Amino acid sequence: MTMKLHSWDISPYAARVRMQIYAKGLTEIATEQTSFYLTQAFYEQRPLSRIPSLEIDGDAIPESAVIAEYLEEIYPEPSLLGSTPRENAHIRTLARIGDVYLIGAAFMLASQNGTLAAQTPVPTGIESIVALLSGQLASSIKTLDRMIGRDGFACLGRLTLADCALVPALAYVQHMLVNRGLAEPIAANANVAAYQAAIQRQAPAARILAEFHRGREERREQISTGELDRMRAANRSAREAAERALSA
């Protein structure tokens, strides 16, 4: 069985899977940095067209949470789950807070000013939406502060899938909020701040954060040189041509 993970350094969802791979020591899964604007062939071969995508002998599994569960099933040791259904529910709850409540709100904030693709973010003027999303994000981090472990791990006193989700989620939140010029809410939550500082001492987390930094620098370079705009235009042209061919 041949497996390859299609990934982006800057994607918190892809980082979640990579951290799981590193924590489990899975050297047989290759990782490929995929173009930010996915090729037409990628869209045609993968109907959901999402990163990360785990390719297995020509087939593909999308969605980071689905990939994570699949990897736990085929590589049960070392386990990144708990020993009881209740422990697993807690792990999945923490991971979902990272995926949905943290990354989701941070991404929507970024979309309000073009942070993902603009050299200098430009406010859209919809400040009421920005205020709403900022409030939701702050509330979610406050909730996480009550639930996060106090021993340097998200829960259970060891690395779990919750850590794999939260490490990139918190890094993504900070990156997006700094770019947006908004107050960073993590420092105001002592337990989350302590967790974020402590988890970086774990090798898989440190590796993910280094890759995320590399991805941010690459994105800044692509934006400043205009490469990102050229990639976007080429991608749009290819997709329009493919749609015309289908309708001809």
Q: Is the pLDDT of residue 122 over 90?
A: no
Q: How confident is the model at residue 82 (pLDDT cuts 50, 70, 90)?
A: very high
DSSP three-state, residue 60: strand
pLDDT for the residue 156: 98
Tokens representing 2 are 């041949």
Confidence (pTM) = 0.84
Which of 241, 142, 131 shows the shortest CA–CA distance to 192?
142
Q: Say what the pLDDT of residue 119 is.
A: 47
Tell me the average pLDDT across 92-104.
94
Q: What is the largest CA-CA distance in the chain?
A: 61
Residue with tokens 């340097």: 152
**Cis amide leading into 12 (omega within 30):** no
124-156: pLDDT as tens digits: 557 777 778 888 888 999 999 999 999 999 999
- Non-local (6+) Cβ contacts of 85 within 8 A are none
C-beta of residue 92 within 8 angstroms of C-beta of residue 38:
no
For range 194-212, the mean pLDDT = 97
- Is residue 80 within 8 Å of residue 26, measured between CB atoms? no
pLDDT above 80: residue 158: yes
pLDDT in tens, 14-55: 999 999 999 999 999 999 887 655 555 555 555 556 789 999
